[in-house]
Structure 1
Amino acid sequence: MNGYLLAGGVLALAVSAIHIIAGHFDPVRPLLTSSMADVPKRTMHAVWHMVSVDLVATALTLLALAWWEPTGTALVAALTAARYAAYAVVFFVIATRVPGRASVFSLPQWILLAPIAILAGLGA
Structure 2
Amino acid sequence: MNGWLLAAGITALGVAAVHIVGGHRDVVRPLLSCGLADEPKRVLHAVWHMVSIDLVLSGLALLYLSLADDMSDTSLVAWFVAAHFIAYAAAFLVVTLSVGWPRPLLRLPQWILLLPVAALAAAGAA
TM range, normalised to the smaller chain? over 0.9
Unaligned runs of 5+ in 1: none
Does the aligned pair in 2 maintain the 1:98–1:106 contact within 8 Å? Answer: no
Letter in 2 for 1:68: A
TM-score (norm 1): 0.96
Unaligned runs of 5+ in 2: none
Alpha-carbon offset, residue 64 of structure 1: 0.3
Matched residues in 2 for 1:62 and 1:85: separation? 15
| Change over 3 Å in CA distance of 1:69–1:93 after alignment to 2 | farther
Matched residues in 2 for 1:80 and 1:65: separation? 11
Matched residues in 2 for 1:4 and 1:49: separation? 27
Alpha-carbon offset, residue 105 of structure 1: 1.3
Alpha-carbon offset, residue 102 of structure 1: 0.7
SS in 2 for 1:36: coil
Query: What RMSD in Å do the two structures reach over aligned CA positions?
Result: 1.0
Work out the number of aligned pairs and report it: 124
Matched residues in 1 for 2:59 and 2:84: separation? 12
Does the aligned pair in 2 maintain the 1:81–1:121 contact within 8 Å? Answer: yes
* Partner of residue 80, structure 2: 79
